[in-house]
A and B are shown apart, each in its own frame.
Chain A
Amino acid sequence: MFKVDDYDVVVVGAGHAGSEAGLAAARMGFKTAVFAINLDSIAMMPCNPAMGGPAKGHLVREVDALGGEIGINTDKAMIQVRTLNTGKGPAVQSLRAQCDKKAYQFSMKYTLEKTPNLYVIQGEIVEIMVEGQRVAGVLTKTGAFYGAKIVIVTTGTYLNGRIIIGDVKYSGGPNGLYPATELSSCLDRLGVKLMRFKTGTPPRVDRRTIDFDRMVIQPGDEVPQPFSYINDKIEVSQIPCYLTYTNDKTHNIIRQNLSRSPLYSGEIKGVGPRYCPSIEDKVVKFPHKERHQLFIEPEGLNTYEMYVQGMSSSMPEDVQHAFLRTIAGLENVRIMRDAYAIEYDCIDPTQLTPWLEFKDIYGLFFAGQVNGTSGYEEAAAQGLMAGINAALKLRGGEPFILDRSESYIGVLIDDLVTKGTNEPYRMMTSRAEYRLILRHDNADLRLTEKGYRVGLVTQDRYQRYLKRKGQIEDEIERLKKTRVSPTTEVINFLISVGSSEIRSGISLYELLKRPEITYENLKVIDYGRPSDILASAIPSIEIEIKYEGYIKKEIEQIESFKKLENRSIPNDIDYENINGLSLEARQKLSKVKPVNVGQASRISGVSPSDISVLLMHLRTRGH
């Protein structure tokens, strides 16, 4: 062992969590090292070539609003983008981009490299050194020691990774990389409780062997939207995806070969995600479904590889060939990479504080898939929060915690550290209680001020935020004050958009509440409209006005939510000595150590009666 250097922060892993963690800590002024097993795997997208979607796209926007990189980098690498759920409601609309995987990786790698205070280093970390319940540094496989005040573990699916393809299994990391085989036992020695999860990825096929005429084309939007708030607009080549379906023949092949599936033979013991079921799972669990959708997505501009979304599998290679060729358009398909399942070690995230620090070791943080999540966006969100909190800890500041009423990030981390997870955790809008407030159009309004205060948001971003916020507020005020009378022009406009006539004066604000009236078509009778309204401000203005009633309802719910959230619980509370708590509640509360009563109330096994008792106890203690 030899010492190389001392760092304020060492990040173990350079995937989507590690990249954000490293960038945040370095940008906040701390000397940071980011380690990767292979530097060419920085910010790799080992599964689908897409970023965003419902809730996940919200996370991207939130990370961006706080000064993270994922949104900016996606904008650089996207080759198609769509707004989803346009007809289903304001809160659930989101962006999803198809990315050029290699472009994504290399632009993120370059960003890391050129960031001041940030050093990327190739090496496998085999040990985290701890002295007196405080981290001291990390040791590489080659025996190099790097001192560190804070260590952030972002190992993704690399820990004791094991690849399974049918009856073939071997030790391996994602996408042909080698796994991290020694760090797990170190974590175990440090008292970190590990779990075993499983995930999978579908085959990649050669686009020259696909008959796209037998599929339905899925084009991008006509007017592409950027993810990042620092981009007003974006140019995208809008390369299409294609939709096709499985059929009876596909399902029969799968059924006939079920005994060869490691999922059903008991070979795979790790817990897989329900939202990303393998095709064999879908066929078994939903036998009445005649077909399942498959999306064929490009992996990049400079490659023939296509990703077969919906075909995740751990069936043997020969079965994969057979069932793919039953599908319309894939009759002559050539597989370039087999589908595989991967098992890996992750930690039980209830061992973490709401700022992602391991409760028993000072300065040891965890973020990303190692915390039991799934998805690039979920990883990036945690990485950012871990990076920010590492920096704040070094500054001696209060932790930066977002709650469930202000962000999906808050929902994500609160769920992880409070409830834990027994499958790879994916963010969904259904996990958020206040999704009309947590929209993707207003992430900057919710978070940029906070990001500015911790020092991660740049001056440029902050000024953009102030401008957008000002425009939205001023414009809503102006629409409230601007009244129109039932003149011929106004009546003609109303008739032209199929709206009912007015008999007396009305504000444009009230008119905009009508479903058939949009900010865009209203301009015909809106003479005083400023000419410089940002395109991105318009949806926010419309939503705030059209759904005012529903939004108010959620704001009321948030107020009552905040009551418990603001009742903090002192560190030294002894649950064993509170009369009236159920045995289960005592155990769970002692383990999770919630920071406030709201968090306590979300722990499974803690009943409303337990919370009443806890509140009573805190009151008698004068809290």
Chain B
Amino acid sequence: MDTIAAISTPPGEGGIGIVRLSGDRAIDIVLKIFKSKSNRDLRKVKSHSMIYGHIIDPDSGSSVDEVLVSVMKSPHTYTVEDVVEINCHGGFTSLKKVLELCLRFGARPAEPGEFTRRAFINGRIDLAQAEAVLEIIRSNSDDTLKASVAQLEGNISREISDIRSKFIDFIAHVDAFVDFPDEDVDDIVDLEPGITECIGRIDKLISSAGTGKILREGLKTVIIGKPNVGKSSLLNALLKEERAIVTEIPGTTRDIIEEYLNIRGVPVRLIDTAGIRNTDDIVEKIGVDRTKAFLSQADLVILMFDSSVELTEEDLAIIDLVKDKIVVALLNKSDLPAKLSAGYINRMLPYARIIRTSLVDGTGLDELTEFIYGLFYSGDVKINDPIITNTRHLACLKKAADAANSALDTLKSGSPVDLITVDLMDAVDALGEITGETAGEEIIDRIFENFCVGK
């Protein structure tokens, strides 16, 4: 297989980053751009050793970065192929430069998840593990990791297998009924509550996917408020408090400040609309459309008021924009004499949580983080429940729920019982696609376990 390369650390301005190569030519390619301090030959060094040196652009002869190169030889590597990792120190720009050099000398850019895919193809991990590993790579916070690990251990698999098993019982019942017409197999009367219960369990898993999405992508939180109300201070206070890694997501336009942080295990993506303000008249100038676009995607809106002054036209316009969202209203600058009452805001935004804050002395910050945490864990979704974080799994669950609903319709319509097995089988297959189980003998085994049939 051809040799692939990618920057395998998250993008950002952090210190160390790694360019990773995998494939037959991994070592040869690095040889061409690496100069070892001690003149050691990468082809001859022991597997899994690190060599210090520099990446040199052969065309210009100039040094690109000071690096440590790890050489790991097939088959005892993640992908089972030869793997080389270049640990760079010069930040994102030099990482990109090193990657470009690798590509110039024969590597191909890796597709997302391709290292793991190779590990799968080369037999090191199975499909379910591969998927779970991809989730771990993508996970950004402790809880995502926990959900991924739970998936690896079969937390979701167990629940799905159990539902699938129920469907197989129903099919076995129908099949015993039709395959042994002379036998006194009970009539098909009690399938309806059973199928309904299963649909409920699938729906619960599906709704957990929302949580799963938040785990993966972060709770999208938009901070909005008129100028100088304290948005940046809030951002900094939250960031400082949680000591999160601040990253600027590449590819987004310069005027949006988007930060990623971790509030008590809940990944939060904070979007500060301060960055898109460039005149005093916020509503008019930024364009309502633009703001609306951010707000429409928001899981949560933090709306800030300056409680030391009375409401302005701007405040009212903003309130109008967010009244359909989940809002937490901060009455900021509570250290100053109040001109704005919570009751008044409550009348304007009846469903919003109202918190008095002061970013000077930190008042209300705990309450805010508590609120965000509570919002995430609202309802009955707990991190120890199975949470669907994988899009393919979600699609399969939806297919299973549709099929089960269709079976229920058939049952209620008084159609012949045989027809419902078409839908139930669809549900079994869809769930089996997640867990990797295939039906077949299972149904027949179930018939003989549960029914006394046969001549």
Contact = CB atoms under 8 A, between A and B. Distances in A.
A295 B184 CA distance: 12
Contact of A85 (B171, B181, B183, B413): B181
A554 B419 CA distance: 11
Nearest to B127: A609
Interface stretch (A32-40, A501-509, A576-584): A576-584
Interface stretch (B118-126, B220-228, B280-288, B316-324): B118-126
Contacts of B172: 430
B162 interface: no
Contact of A430 (B179, B181, B184, B454): B179
Contacts of B171: 430
A214 interface: no
B447 A430 contact: yes
B417 A430 contact: no
Interface stretch (A68-76, A113-121, A282-290): A282-290
Q: Identify which of B441, B453, B454 gathers the most chain A CB atoms within 10 Å of its CB.
A: B454
B175 interface: yes
Interface in A380-439: 419, 428-431, 433, 435-436
Range for the number of chain A residues in contact with chain B: 35 or more
Contact of B121 (A276, A286, A579): A579
B175 A429 contact: yes
Contacts of A428: 175, 179, 444, 447
Given A92-B418, A553-B422, A554-B422, A84 B181 contact: yes
Contacts of B426: 553, 557
Contacts of A87: 416
Interface stretch (A47-55, A59-67, A180-188): A47-55
A420 to B, nearest CB: 11
A87 B174 CA distance: 13
Nearest to A87: B416
Interface string B108-149: 000000000000111100110000000000000000000000
Interface string B416-445: 111100100110000000001010110110
Given A419-B441, A547-B419, A609-B127, A515 B414 contact: yes
A54 to B, nearest CB: 5
Interface in A543-561: 547, 550, 553-554, 557
B177 interface: yes
B178 A275 contact: no
Contacts of B438: 601-602, 608
B455 A310 contact: yes
A185 B169 CA distance: 43
A433 B183 CA distance: 23
Given A88-B178, A88-B417, A292-B452, A609 B422 contact: no
B294 interface: no
B415 interface: yes
A274 interface: yes
Instruction: Tell me which of A92, A276, A286, A582 has the highest count of chain B C-beta atoms within 10 A of its own C-beta.
Output: A92
A607 B435 CA distance: 11
A92 B443 CA distance: 16
B422 A436 contact: yes
Given A275-B454, A282-B452, A431-B444, A85 B123 contact: no
Given A92-B418, A550-B419, A429 B178 contact: yes
A91 interface: yes
Nearest to A50: B455
B182 interface: yes
Nearest to A53: B181
A277 B172 CA distance: 18
A230 interface: no
A538 to B, nearest CB: 17
B448 interface: yes
A490 interface: no
B452 A602 contact: no
A608 B128 CA distance: 10
B360 to A, nearest CB: 58
B123 A579 contact: yes
Given A84-B181, A274-B448, A613-B121, A89 B416 contact: yes
A428 B120 CA distance: 38
Contact of B127 (A54, A293, A581, A608): A608
Interface string B71-107: 0000000001000000000000000000000000000
Contact of A612 (B127, B178, B418): B127
Nearest to B179: A428
Interface in A78-115: 84-85, 87-92
Interface residues of B, number: 40
A63 to B, nearest CB: 19
Nearest to A430: B175
A81 to B, nearest CB: 14
A90 B418 contact: yes
Nearest to B450: A286
Nearest to B447: A430
Interface in A579-623: 579-582, 601-602, 604, 607-609, 612-613, 616
A389 to B, nearest CB: 25
Interface centre among A312, A433, A436, A609 (most CB of B within 10 A): A609
A580 B179 CA distance: 40
Contacts of B415: 89, 515
A433 B425 contact: yes
Contact of A276 (B122, B178, B454): B454
Point out which of A89, A276, A312 has the most chain B C-beta atoms below 10 A from its C-beta.
A89
A373 interface: no
A286 B452 contact: yes
A339 B342 CA distance: 90
B417 A89 contact: yes
Contacts of A310: 455
A430 B443 contact: yes
A85 B178 contact: yes
A142 B417 CA distance: 57
A579 B123 CA distance: 7
A293 B422 contact: no
A429 B171 CA distance: 11
Contact of B177 (A88, A289, A612): A88
Contact of B452 (A53, A92, A289): A289
B416 A88 contact: yes
A608 B436 contact: yes
A309 interface: yes
A607 B436 contact: yes
B454 A580 contact: no
Contact of B444 (A282, A430, A604): A430
B452 A88 contact: no
A604 B448 CA distance: 20
Contacts of A581: 123
A419 B442 CA distance: 13
Contacts of B177: 88
Contacts of A295: 182, 455
Nearest to A278: B454
Contacts of A273: 454
Given A85-B181, A88-B177, A429-B175, A309 B123 contact: no
Q: 9 smallest A-B Cβ distances: which pairs?
A: A89-B418, A89-B416, A580-B123, A430-B175, A92-B178, A286-B452, A274-B448, A275-B454, A84-B181
Given A276-B455, A277-B452, A282-B452, 17 more contacts: A85-B181, A87-B416, A90-B416, A91-B418, A273-B454, A274-B448, A274-B454, A275-B448, A275-B453, A275-B454, A277-B454, A295-B455, A428-B179, A429-B175, A550-B422, A580-B121, A580-B122
27 contacts: A53-B181, A54-B178, A85-B181, A85-B418, A87-B416, A88-B178, A88-B418, A90-B416, A275-B180, A276-B454, A286-B452, A295-B182, A310-B455, A428-B444, A429-B179, A430-B175, A431-B444, A580-B121, A580-B122, A580-B123, A581-B123, A602-B438, A607-B126, A607-B127, A608-B438, A609-B120, A612-B127
Interface of B: 80, 120-123, 126-127, 171-172, 175, 177-184, 413-419, 422, 425-426, 436, 438, 440-441, 443-444, 447-448, 452-455
